[in-house]
Structure 1
Amino acid sequence: MFALQSDRVALRFGDRTLTHAELASCAGALASRLAGSPRVAVWATPTIETCVAVVAALLAGVPAVPLNPKVGERELAHIVADSAPALVLAAPGVALPSGLDSVPRLDVTLEGSAGSFPEPDLSAPALVVYTSGTTGSPKGVVLPRRAIVSTLDAVAEAWEWTEDDVLVHALPLFHVHGLILGVLGPLRRGGTLHHLGRFSTDLVTEALDGDGTMMFGVPTMYHRIAEEVGSNAPLAAALRGARLLVSGSAALPVRDHERIEAATGQRVVERYGMTETLMNTSVRASGDRRPGAVGVPLPGVEVRLVDDTGSAVAEPGAIGEIQVRGENLFTEYLNRPDATAEAFADGWFRTGDVGTRDPDGYYRIVGRKATDIIKSGGYKIGAGEIENALLEHPSVKEVAVTGEPDDDLGERIVAWVVPAGDAPAAEELSDHVARLLTPHKRPRRVRFVESLPRNDMGKVMKRALGT
């Protein structure tokens, strides 16, 4: 699964580094201690030890369960009971919560000599990554080795990713974006990960001014860059010199695309994936980096849109639920055969995301079926289109659009706005949307807030609005 023989730097966290050969040695020693375990948990702090722990588990053929260090007591208790890890791996000196007292701890060190391990079958489980639990208790997504391999090879082709690339990011290591793409991706290519530890534009500037060639981020990070890059010449120059800037985990607003391009000449590449499917589509490095579009299906991935009856939607521009099939899919929800069966329709995974397809095959994400499609006055309206329109108003800093029950319309459109300075009149914003889009898409209510609730990946938690 990895290229772990060279003396090229594999991992860089601050002033700590491991070459590929050194990583093979210490991860191999740890893998010898894990061999035969049914499953292990990894306390996924943004450290080099987390990477060693995951690589060791993969070498040993033992499924790893990455744990968010900010996890709450109830959620942790559920994950521990559901996944039943034999061990929890953690960096030395890191305090663990009492919810892990029942699980034996094993400290991850950077010592030892490599062992020899047979390559497990590609159908074998590699990781169990828990969903965010927005619609109930978090579900353990069982990801087989074939899903990881097929995704990493597909994005490498799309992004022209080679061993010469140095990937820069500050993403958390308990999620597929930061861990699978952001750690295992460079290791499979034989290249380098430079993890910043935490996100800041100063750290991004320094890393890309150095040997960094690629950057991964979420829209929250790129929004901060967009806010600053026009007046920060060193940041603009560093971004201009990067080979590839990739955004994922949520849609990047068109306004942020435009501000970054105006200051740097760089167009951000967007891709679309989720925990259960890893990566589905992407804009190619050599393709048209179109703001608001997540590109075409990756090699080996089939994507289709279906309407409310389950029939395929073929006409360009029509809205439908995105369904996916291919080697990139998960195997099952751990201990949840009911949820696994419900997630599929004739072999297609039902993502719950809603999108459209351009005439040339580029996909665009409208939003989540449950929260981002508003049925108002007989129209099916995508929240993302309204959000992008509102972000073009100079008095809007951030925005989320939701629907709420309305006796006349079925649902009314509500805009939750973080103002940029003094709040404008609500009518001004509604008229702005009506002018840019159509009158039936204007917000019927505008609510001004100091901030929007977000999860660890920067996604707005719309279900928390109004509670």
Structure 2
Amino acid sequence: MSSLFPALSDPSAGPRPALRFGERALTYGELAAAAGALAERIAGAGRIALWATPGLETAVAVVAALTAGVPVVPLNPRSGERELGHVLRDSAPAAVLAAPGDRLPDAVGALERLDVDVRAREAYAPAAGDDEAPALIVYTSGTTGPPKGAVIPRRALAVTLDALAEAWRWSGDDVLVHGLPLFHVHGLVLGTLGPLRRGGSVRHLGRFSTDGVARELGAGATMLFGVPTMYHRIAEALPTEPELVKALAGARLLVSGSAALPVHDHERIASATGRRVVERYGMTETLMNTSVRVDGEPRPGTVGVPLPGVELRLVEEDGTPLAAWDGETVGEIQVRGPHLFTGYLNRPDATAAAFTGDGWFRTGDMAVREGDGQVRLVGRKATDLIKSGGYKIGAGEIENALLDHPGVREAAVTGEPDEDLGERIVAWVVPADPGAPPGLDELAGHVSRLLAPHKRPRVVRHLDALPRNDMGKVMKRVLGQDGAQGDA
């Protein structure tokens, strides 16, 4: 089994900072000793769960499990009892790792509990094994049924992190700042394991704040990872927070992911700081597929080109590959390569349905490709592909157009049945001024001028806020369940 974290076995790396969560920190030597001690305790345990709070214990526990060759199941501390019960029944872990003092719900408390001691000391000795062996079992959001456990092998972790290092020139000199949850691949794999694989360090904010970003980037950090909600808050704060402007301007790399970053926020950040936010595209089952490269052309609205080792194609509804790279023709993204998961735990039916006969993974994401191969996401096949008047329309580009209107603070676009058009475009809008929300005629005319008339909204509904999950993604299936004012 190849070493995922070479610096942990390197005595010369011992004094270098590895992890910092708030005021608590570990050097590489301390992390190696703490992970080594926990690895000794859990070796041979089979599958093990992790109560993934944003703290040192979570990071030590994952490194220890990977050191011992034990698959780990990160648990979302904000999950309800029913969801937790499903995950635990499905994954059947032998025990749960948690920080001392963490209170566990009944569904988790029934397991044997192993407290993580970040002060423990033992020799660091990675177990021998297979790069195809499971490393993580990460449960999907469950938008179309109970969450499924994506089995991610060690090979996929190494391939993705090394591909990103090449695309971003990520090195051991980089210091990463983020405030992301640690139960998902963005915060855990990219944001925690990524720096450790490079021999760099990570500073976790605990809870995201613009003050925290300014403080850490201003104190020598070089990179920031965030989701669009975080970058939107940054963009809103820039006019009144000069220290934030200065800190972002000095960063080497700003990265956004987990959902598309609106072009409006891209432009506000670039205008104020001179720095462009880099977007990448991935998902639980694939880890990372594409990214804008640090040596590439910054182009707001795209998620870059396929990473090294990733094969990517767009296909029609019948699976026919699209040949056109014209920036207009919409197709579903399919990917193939060593970065993929091996399957869904206990779900051979779902695994088989997710892949084509020749090994391409069906992402369910819709996109277009520009003439130079850049990928531009337009939404999810299930919720963001709107078939209206004979056109296939992606919700994402309409959302970006709406956000260019000064009266729109937030926007989401969906389709709903229409006898004439098949589907009509519905704009869900959080107005900048709730007392004077922009109406249908105004927004339809605005979109028609920026895009094309057939992409204009036919209905506008006003909301106080858009429903979002823990990663900041808009939950479009929730839209319409609560009352909302609107006109058609």
TM-score (norm 2): 0.95
What is the percentage of aligned positions where both structures have the same residue?
A: 69
> 1:62-112: CA deviations, max 9, x gaps?
000000110111100000000001010000001000111321100000212
The partner residue of 2:347 within 333, 336, 346 is 336
Paired residue for 1:25?
33
SS at match of 1:150: helix
1:94 aligns with 2:94: no
Amino acid at match of 1:405: P
- Measure, in 2, the Cα distance between the counterparts of 1:166 and 1:115: 23
Whether the aligned pair in 2 keeps the contact of 1:28 and 1:59 (CA below 8 Å) is yes
Paired residue for 2:178?
169
User: Once the 2 structures are TM-superposed, how far is the Cα of residue 461 of structure 1 from its aligned partner?
Assistant: 0.5
1:378 aligns with 2:378: no
Summarize the alignment of residues 57-206 of structure 1 with structure 2, pairs less than 5 Å apart: 57-110=65-118, 111-206=120-215
- Measure, in 1, the Cα distance between the counterparts of 2:124 and 2:53: 25
User: Once the 2 structures are TM-superposed, how far is the Cα of residue 383 of structure 1 from its aligned partner?
Assistant: 0.4
1:10 aligns with 2:18: yes
The partner residue of 2:233 within 224, 229, 247 is 224
User: Once the 2 structures are TM-superposed, how far is the Cα of residue 117 of structure 1 from its aligned partner?
Assistant: 3.2
- Measure, in 2, the Cα distance between the counterparts of 1:184 and 1:356: 31
Paired residue for 1:242?
251
Amino acid at match of 1:293: T
Say what the alpha-carbon RMSD is for the aligned residues: 0.8
The partner residue of 2:375 within 360, 363, 387 is 363
Whether the aligned pair in 2 keeps the contact of 1:230 and 1:259 (CA below 8 Å) is no
User: Once the 2 structures are TM-superposed, how far is the Cα of residue 114 of structure 1 from its aligned partner?
Assistant: 2.1
Amino acid at match of 1:229: L
Whether the aligned pair in 1 keeps the contact of 2:280 and 2:304 (CA below 8 Å) is yes
- Measure, in 2, the Cα distance between the counterparts of 1:14 and 1:219: 23
Whether the aligned pair in 2 keeps the contact of 1:396 and 1:418 (CA below 8 Å) is yes
Amino acid at match of 1:461: M
Amino acid at match of 1:416: W
User: Once the 2 structures are TM-superposed, how far is the Cα of residue 115 of structure 1 from its aligned partner?
Assistant: 4.2
- Measure, in 2, the Cα distance between the counterparts of 1:76 and 1:101: 11
The partner residue of 1:431 within 442, 445, 466 is 445
Amino acid at match of 2:355: F
- Measure, in 1, the Cα distance between the counterparts of 2:124 and 2:78: 33
Deviation beyond 4 Å, 4+ runs, structure 1? none
Paired residue for 1:326?
337
SS at match of 1:299: coil
The partner residue of 1:208 within 205, 217, 220 is 217
Whether the aligned pair in 2 keeps the contact of 1:306 and 1:323 (CA below 8 Å) is yes
- Measure, in 1, the Cα distance between the counterparts of 2:116 and 2:458: 55
Paired residue for 1:300?
309
- Measure, in 2, the Cα distance between the counterparts of 1:290 and 1:356: 14
- Measure, in 2, the Cα distance between the counterparts of 1:416 and 1:73: 31
User: Once the 2 structures are TM-superposed, how far is the Cα of residue 286 of structure 1 from its aligned partner?
Assistant: 1.4
Paired residue for 1:459?
473
Paired residue for 1:445?
459
Aligned residue-pair number: 467
- Measure, in 1, the Cα distance between the counterparts of 2:300 and 2:280: 11
> 1:117-156: CA deviations, max 9, x gaps?
3332110000000000000000000000000000000000
Amino acid at match of 2:437: A
1:391 aligns with 2:400: no
- Measure, in 2, the Cα distance between the counterparts of 1:25 and 1:424: 59
Amino acid at match of 1:389: A
- Measure, in 2, the Cα distance between the counterparts of 1:436 and 1:230: 26
The partner residue of 2:431 within 419, 429, 439 is 419
- Measure, in 1, the Cα distance between the counterparts of 2:439 and 2:126: 65
- Measure, in 1, the Cα distance between the counterparts of 2:66 and 2:391: 49
- Measure, in 2, the Cα distance between the counterparts of 1:271 and 1:87: 34
Amino acid at match of 2:369: R
- Measure, in 2, the Cα distance between the counterparts of 1:168 and 1:409: 47
User: Once the 2 structures are TM-superposed, how far is the Cα of residue 434 of structure 1 from its aligned partner?
Assistant: 1.4
Paired residue for 2:485?
none
1:290 aligns with 2:299: yes
Amino acid at match of 2:459: R
- Measure, in 1, the Cα distance between the counterparts of 2:387 and 2:112: 51
Runs of at least 5 residues in structure 2 that lack an aligned partner in the other structure: 482-488
TM-score (norm 1): 0.99
Runs of at least 5 residues in structure 1 that lack an aligned partner in the other structure: none
User: Once the 2 structures are TM-superposed, how far is the Cα of residue 38 of structure 1 from its aligned partner?
Assistant: 1.2
SS at match of 1:230: helix
- Measure, in 2, the Cα distance between the counterparts of 1:176 and 1:11: 18
SS at match of 1:224: helix
Paired residue for 1:410?
422
